[in-house]
């Protein structure tokens, strides 16, 4: 017992400098987000990048790496407390069929666009998953089961920045465009929930139209999020299979994805009070902010800029492809 406590204390001593750095960045990001009404993850990322010089500090490196890996997976698992099975089933049969098809079709089309633009298959899969499922959270979850490559952190953060920025733009533009196209409030809710990448922007855009639109948009978005563990597990299995004929090191099974599903079931059971569920959802959010801050510290702005305008154009095209699929589905009354 005493030996175990000593090991824990030693581990905390090693991790604490980096965790303090990441925690300070996360707190600053939360303060700025609260006062300037911008995405907290974007602030965490930008501030983290400003402290990139700390990534080479031997005292801070272990804690920063712990934040960008372990805390990340913990946060993704707790995302399950943001949705219940009743909410998903309440969307109706058409929505339950439409959203998985939308996600899978969007991933396929987005991956094809990326490959046609000459991007490597892992980067293509990363961007496709982020666009199709839930933006920054999906990018982080999918990247966590990828094999290591030289610029993995840089590529992941680039995708996070782009999808967060595109979500913010969409939050402003989409409600206006959908209203001008004379879609009903229900249809606008479906479109907003189907096409905007991040949850916060979905909520902002939906409730800017009406309460009914906001409710529908949120539920559709939560159904997209519920696809995350399935997609992550499938990707992990496919990568592991492909390892037999490649130089990619096999990755451990993504247990955090199963933990996500378990949290969703527990949240749906009614056994835990709503205040605890909301608290755990908040813990998930801040865990992801910690992870983003840690990833930001490990990535230099210069290296991100090396990806250039072609990569930005790729994510814009993938976002427009998702929008087109959703508009066609709603216009033809498939949902």
**Residue 19 vs residues 4, 68, 246: alpha-carbon distances, Å:** 21, 10, 36
Q: Which is more confidently placed, 106 or 198?
A: 106
Task: Give Cα 34 distance to the centre of its chain.
Answer: 20
Task: Provide the pLDDT confidence category of residue 105 given band limits of 50, 70 and 90.
Answer: very high
Query: To the nearest 10°, the Cα dihedral for 60, 64, 65, 71?
Result: 140
Question: Where would I find the H helices in the chain?
Answer: 2-36, 40-50, 61-66, 72-78, 85-89, 93-116, 121-132, 136-143, 152-180, 185-195, 199-209, 211-226, 228-242, 255-269, 274-297, 301-305, 308-331
Q: Which is more confidently placed, 248 or 86?
A: 86
Position 267 scores a pLDDT of 86
Q: Which is more confidently placed, 329 or 164?
A: 329
Question: What span, in angstroms and rounded, lies between the C-alpha atoms of 320 and 171?
Answer: 14
Q: Which is more confidently placed, 241 or 54?
A: 54
Position 247 scores a pLDDT of 40
Task: Provide the pLDDT confidence category of residue 220 given band limits of 50, 70 and 90.
Answer: confident
Please check the confidence at residue 302 and state whether its pLDDT lies above 80. Answer: no
Position 40 scores a pLDDT of 79
At 247-284, the pLDDT tens digits run 434 444 557 667 877 888 888 888 888 889 889 988 88
Position 109 scores a pLDDT of 93
* Neighbouring residues of 123: CB distance < 8 A, sequence distance ≥ 6: 114, 155
* % of the chain exceeding 90 in pLDDT: 13
Nearest CA-CA partner of 184 in 194, 192, 173, 172: 192
* % of the chain exceeding 70 in pLDDT: 87
Question: What span, in angstroms and rounded, lies between the C-alpha atoms of 198 and 193?
Answer: 9
Q: Which is more confidently placed, 305 or 216?
A: 216
Position 249 scores a pLDDT of 40
Please check the confidence at residue 246 and state whether its pLDDT lies above 60. Answer: no
Question: What span, in angstroms and rounded, lies between the C-alpha atoms of 134 and 193?
Answer: 10
Cβ neighbour number for residue 297 with a 10 Å cutoff: 31
Mean pLDDT of 157-164: 83
Position 335 scores a pLDDT of 61
What is the reported pTM?
0.67
């Amino acid at each position: 017992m005493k030996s175990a406590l000593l090991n824990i204390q030693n581990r905390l001593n090693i991790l604490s400098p980096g965790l303090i750095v990441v925690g300070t960045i996360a707190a600053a990001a939360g303060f700025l987000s609260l006062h300037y009404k911008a995405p907290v993850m974007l602030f965490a990322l930008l501030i983290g990048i400003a402290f990139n010089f700390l990534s080479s500090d031997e005292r801070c490196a272990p804690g920063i790496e712990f934040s960008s890996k372990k805390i990340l997976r913990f946060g993704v698992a707790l995302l399950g407390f943001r949705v219940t099975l009743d909410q998903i089933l309440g969307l109706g049969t058409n929505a339950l069929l439409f959203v998985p098809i939308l996600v899978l079709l969007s991933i396929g089309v987005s991956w094809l666009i990326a490959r046609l633009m000459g991007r490597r298959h892992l980067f293509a899969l990363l961007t496709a998953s982020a666009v199709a499922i839930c933006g920054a959270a999906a990018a982080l979850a999918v990247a966590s089961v990828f094999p290591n490559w030289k610029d993995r952190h840089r590529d992941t953060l680039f995708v996070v920045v782009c999808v967060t920025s595109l979500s913010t733009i969409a939050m402003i533009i989409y409600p206006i465009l959908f209203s001008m196209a004379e879609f009903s409030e229900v249809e606008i809710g479906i479109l907003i929930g189907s096409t905007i990448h991040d949850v916060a922007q979905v909520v902002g855009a939906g409730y800017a139209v009406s309460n009914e639109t906001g409710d529908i948009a949120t539920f559709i978005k939560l159904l997209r999020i519920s696809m995350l563990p399935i997609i992550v597990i499938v990707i992990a299995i496919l990568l592991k299979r492909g390892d037999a004929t490649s130089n990619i090191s096999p990755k451990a099974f993504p247990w955090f994805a199963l933990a996500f599903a378990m949290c969703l079931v527990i949240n749906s059971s009614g056994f835990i009070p709503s205040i605890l569920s909301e608290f755990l959802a908040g813990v998930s959010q801040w865990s992801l902010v910690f992870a983003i801050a840690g990833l930001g510290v490990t990535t230099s702005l210069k290296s991100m800029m090396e990806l250039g305008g072609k990569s930005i154009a790729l994510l814009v095209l993938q976002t427009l492809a998702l929008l087109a699929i959703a508009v066609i589905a709603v216009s033809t009354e498939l949902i």
